[in-house]
Amino acid sequence: MLEIQDLHVRVDDKPILKGLNLHLGAGEVHAIMGPNGAGKSTLSAVLAGREGYEITSGSVQYQGQDLLAMSVEERACAGVMLGFQYPVEIPGVKNVYLLKAALNAQRKARGEAEIDAPSFMKLVREHLAFMKMDNSFLHRAVNEGFSGGEKKRNEILQMLILQPHLAILDEIDSGLDIDALKIVAEGVNSLRSASRSMLMITHYQRLLDYIVPDHIHVLADGQIIKSGDKGLALELEARGYDWLLEDAG
Ligand code: ADP
Ligand code: MG
Ligand code: MG
């Protein structure tokens, strides 16, 4: 699904990712943990194709294609989707309109016809109910005035509708109370499938009580310095990151 090799990325001439390697198989859920400033959001932004990042070396293969050569739109249509740490507000654009436009763009890229209005509304209402959001969210401007938890739920709603092959979730747990965290985790867990991979970025172990990853990696100073199974998260919770940083020298 995703093969990252020796990725080096600079932002404003400052090296941020310094030789990152990562392999995600189909159906796998990987968590990336690590201290603040390690480069976690930079990694997610580079995978999503955001501007302002200079890739100085390395490669990223997504389903056998050169991901870094693809435009943001091409990535989205190929099923790569990023859930933002800080979801953007889009004043003047209704949530329902964005969802429909995104879904139809994806269908068009796949040579499929636009979804008809009744089928679309049925699909949206089903997922809204699952995310415990009421219909009013459809008619509000995208994320405008949404609470932190509502924004994160809206990100997962988009994923439930667009069904990405590779979902990247950047600190989807930050700013959530425990009830919102459980709803978001249920949404993410319902997306798990043999053909979908997920990269979950989180600073805290708490999320991983609800979404249990297959593999955990620690990103520090632009490199993966340790990988393990879910036991590693518990060890990090107990010991912090310092012992790893010392080991890594
Ligand atoms: P994390 O998500 O792990 O907390 P980030 O990827 O957000 O880390 O940031 C990694 C480093 O890159 C930090 O030192 C941060 O200050 C720096 N950085 C990120 N974006 C920019 C930017 N646009 N301009 C300058 N420095 C940046
Ligand atoms: Mg951070
Ligand atoms: Mg971050």
Q: Which DSSP letter does residue 198 get?
A: E
Ligand 1 mutation target, pool 10, 12, 36, 41, most atoms within 8 A of CB: 41
Digit-coded pLDDT (tens) for 182-205: 999 999 999 999 999 999 999 888
Measured by CA distance, the residue closest to atom 11 of ligand 1 is 37
Nearest CA to ligand 1 atom 5: 39
Rounded-to-integer distance, Cα 165 and Cα 150, Å: 24
- pLDDT attached to residue 248: 66
Q: How confident is the model at residue 157 (pLDDT cuts 50, 70, 90)?
A: very high
- The Cβ of residue 68 has, within 10 Å, a number of other Cβ atoms equal to 18
For the chain, percent of residues with pLDDT exceeding 70? 99
Please write the tens of the pLDDT for every residue from 13-32.
999 999 999 999 999 999 99
Q: What is the pLDDT of residue 215?
A: 96
Q: Which ipTM score applies to this complex?
A: 0.93
Pocket of ligand 1 (CB under 6 A): 11-12, 14, 16, 34, 36-42, 52
- Residue-level length of the chain: 249
Query: In ligand 1, which atom is closest to the CA atom of 36?
Result: 4
Are 2 and 22 in contact by the 8 Å Cβ rule? The answer is: yes
Check whether 3 has a pLDDT greater than 90.
Answer: yes
Ligand nearest to the CA of 33: 1
Beta partners for residue 215, in sequence order: 30
Superfamily name and number for 2-248: P-loop containing nucleotide triphosphate hydrolases (3.40.50.300)
Residue 161 has pLDDT above 70, yes or no: yes
Q: Which atom of ligand 1 is nearest to 170's Cα? A: 2
Domain boundaries defined on the chain: 2-248
In the predicted structure, residue 131 carries a pLDDT above the cut 70:
yes
- Distance from the alpha carbon of residue 37 to the mean position of ligand 1, in angstroms: 6
Q: What's the average model confidence in pLDDT over 151-156?
A: 92
- C-alpha distances out from residue 248 to 32, 55, 83, 122, Å: 17, 24, 30, 52
> Which ligand neighbours the alpha carbon of 17 most closely?
1
Residue 249, pLDDT > 70, answer: no
Query: CA 48 to CA 88: how far, in whole Å?
Result: 15
- Cα–Cα separations (whole angstroms), residue 66 to 15, 72, 83, 127: 22, 13, 21, 32
pLDDT in tens, 201-210: 998 888 899 9
Ligand 1 mean position to 39 CA, how many Å?
Answer: 6
